[in-house]
Amino acid sequence: METQRRYLTLKAFCEEFGVAKSTFYDWCAKGRAPRHFKLPNGEIRIRRTDLETWLESCEVAA
């Protein structure tokens, strides 16, 4: 069983959701991306908790 990391890299996020990095940056520009932060080296990280919150906000009522 694979353990989930507490923080996702941008690459891991894109792989998990099947989107290109350019799509993520487009979502950022439109204010639609999950909360994330940039490390001093410029890399992006996304907390799993923020990802779960973002996913819940994307949910559409049936």
Does pTM surpass 0.95? no
1 pLDDT higher than 80? no
Strand positions, DSSP E, 1-62: 7-9, 37-38, 44-47
Per-residue pLDDT at 2 exceeds 90: no
Residue 34 DSSP class: P
Per residue in 12-42, pLDDT (tens digit) is 999 999 999 999 999 999 999 999 999 999 9
Q: What are phi and psi of 6, to 5 degrees?
A: -70, -30
Give 5's pLDDT tier (boundaries 50, 70, 90): confident
39 touches 46 (CB < 8 A): no
